[in-house]
A and B are shown apart, each in its own frame.
Chain A
Amino acid sequence: MNILSIDTVTDVCSVAITYKGETVQRTSSERVGHSNLILALISSLCAEMEVSFSKLDVMGVDIGPGSFTGVRIGIGVIQGLAYGTNLPVIGVSSLETLAASQKGKLVLPALDARMGQIYCGLYDTECGVTELVSPVVCYPDEVPFTIGNRDLFGLGSGWEQYDKEIVGGLKVPTWNKETRFDSNWKSNWYPEARFVNQLAMTRGLTCSTGALNLRASYVRNQVVNSKRT
């Protein structure tokens, strides 16, 4: 399956093409706005790999949660490109994309959701990526998961600011979470388009949809007057 995916939901934006089994990714963390970069990244990667849109089978996109504007830029760009080239699309979650970067672990990806909150979910990457708890938005000390005795791996910007709150709030019954956890997370980890490709290829074309049906996954749906009570 030949696929082009983009990820624009965090400060880092990326484009990846998987063509005839080879995956190449271009990433930018320049703070000039994804709207200034993403189409140029796509064009240059297509030119570099000598892949035109007509050689693709599907397009993929990270649909969030993440920056609201970033989520919409990604969806808008893929909608326009896929509609214009009659390609189907596959949308995947940002947290699942983060989790897909790990193998054989229980992963708790967390992205900074602003207003003192994080987006987080729980994934098992023992065999592919299995979603154990779908994405939620919550205060870091109120992560609503019960974790068993397995080692847990944390990923994403949410861990940078809130590592102690997340660990302190987790419902972990038997092991000493503080000592086990201190070195077991990475905050400088972003969702990347190559993992969007990977997830989309695992799902296959049967899970694709038309560009008109692509929808964002904001997770935070209360956007008017939402303050901690």
Chain B
Amino acid sequence: MRILGIETSCDDTAAAIYDSEKGLIVHRLSSQIDLHRQYGGVVPELAARDHICTLMPLVDNVLHSPENGGEKMDAIAYTAGPGLSGALLVGASIGKSLAHAWGIPAVAVHHMEGHLLAPMLEETPPPFPFIALLVSGGHTLLVDVEDEGCYQILGQSLDDAAGEAFDKTAKLLNLGYPGGPAISKVAQGGDANRFHFPRPMVNRPGLDFSFSGLKTHVRTTTQKIREENQLDDQTVADIALAFELAVVDTLGIKCGRALKQTGRKRLIIAGGVGANQRLRDHLTKVTADLGAQVFYPRSEFCTDNGAMIAYAGYVRSKMIPDSNTSNPIDSEQASFDVKPRWSLENI
């Protein structure tokens, strides 16, 4: 089975082809980072406008790529949520209507299911069951994954997502957008002994997260130093490092707690923050101490991509083979409504 995957939930336009026999065939991505940089974050309307110009040529590109070799698709998977409504609708309208024209099924994919299945695209995928830490600009989730499609949310952020905290902190320190790579780069020159920021909610039982208090702590610290005209490059680096260590440590504590609580022996990391090297190093140590294994998708599949949507679409189409028809006269099957808010437990 050969499946086209389309991703437009936020600020990346992506398309990919996955083959159930041959694995990932091709993937392409167009990033909107430069478009949103001047605003310090994603502007939803600009994101949707860019998607509608970019997606169809990108789909054409993967379909006509030498890797695909002119093969026809058996299904089209598109991200139906969660994400930005206007952005999601671009992928949904094109994905669904193209599938309709070709008379093949269209599969609505949950973006976070795509992320947590992304490690399955690697050469040595983790066997089920496992714990998944999904950390991105829009989400921070700990999920118990018993099998394909069997997900239980163990904990999630009560306010800001970890990636959002990175972006806001970077903005506060004038480090640019996106915040994650900017903070990590500057933090390399930081002094770990100068500041110590709180690890939110680690002293409470449970697996939920909260990052807005940490962000406020950084703001208070930064403002005070700025008023004293002491905010030099070294201080910025020291603050960036203290912030990064606080996030990494907090995520590590919760992941360790989740592994102990469930007795699972494997942890997978996905989402844009999962590309953070300090987080990877720390979680490798945390899992080793617990006799567990950690799995990461390659960095380009940590961030949003079409490959994970194509793969998740394949998984879904196996589970619900008759989820769609080639001639959707029935209005429910013809609908391509999107779900900007959609729990992983309600797929």
* Given contacts A35-B92, A83-B60, A216 and B101 within 8 Å (CB-CB): no
Interface-central residue, B49, B85, B90, B336, by most chain A CB under 10 Å: B336
Q: Judge whether B43 and A79 touch: CB under 8 Å.
A: no
Per a CB cutoff under 8 Å, which of B48, B102, B330 touches A68? B48
Per a CB cutoff under 8 Å, which of B89, B90, B102, B329 touches A84? B102
Which residues from B are CB-within-8-Å of A36? 331, 335-337
B62 to chain A, nearest CB (A): 13
How would you classify the secondary structure of chain B's contact residues: helix, strand, loop or mixed?
Answer: helix
Which residues from A are CB-within-8-Å of B334? 39-40, 43
Q: Judge whether A80 and B100 touch: CB under 8 Å.
A: yes
How would you classify the secondary structure of chain A's contact residues: helix, strand, loop or mixed?
Answer: helix
* Given contacts A84-B97, A224-B43, A216 and B329 within 8 Å (CB-CB): no
Q: Judge whether B56 and A73 touch: CB under 8 Å.
A: no
* Given contacts A72-B93, A212-B56, A81 and B48 within 8 Å (CB-CB): no
Per a CB cutoff under 8 Å, which of A69, A81, A214 touches B89? A69
| Cα distance A28–B275 in the bound complex, in angstroms | 47
Q: Judge whether A43 and B329 touch: CB under 8 Å.
A: yes
Beta-carbon contacts under 8 Å, B59-97 to A: 59-60, 85-86, 89-90, 92-97
Beta-carbon contacts under 8 Å, B291-347 to A: 327-331, 334-338
Q: Judge whether B98 and A84 touch: CB under 8 Å.
A: yes
Measured CB to CB, the nearest residue on chain B to A8 is B93
B225 CB–A CB distance under 8 Å? no
Q: Judge whether B48 and A72 touch: CB under 8 Å.
A: yes
A155 to chain B, nearest CB (A): 27
Measured CB to CB, the nearest residue on chain A to B327 is A43
A24 CB–B CB distance under 8 Å? no
Chain B: residues with CB nearer than 8 A to chain A? 39, 43, 45-46, 48-49, 52-53, 56-57, 59-60, 85-86, 89-90, 92-102, 327-331, 334-338
Q: Enumerate the 3 nearest inter-chain pairs by beta-carbon distance, A residue then B residue, closest first.
A: A84-B101, A80-B97, A76-B93
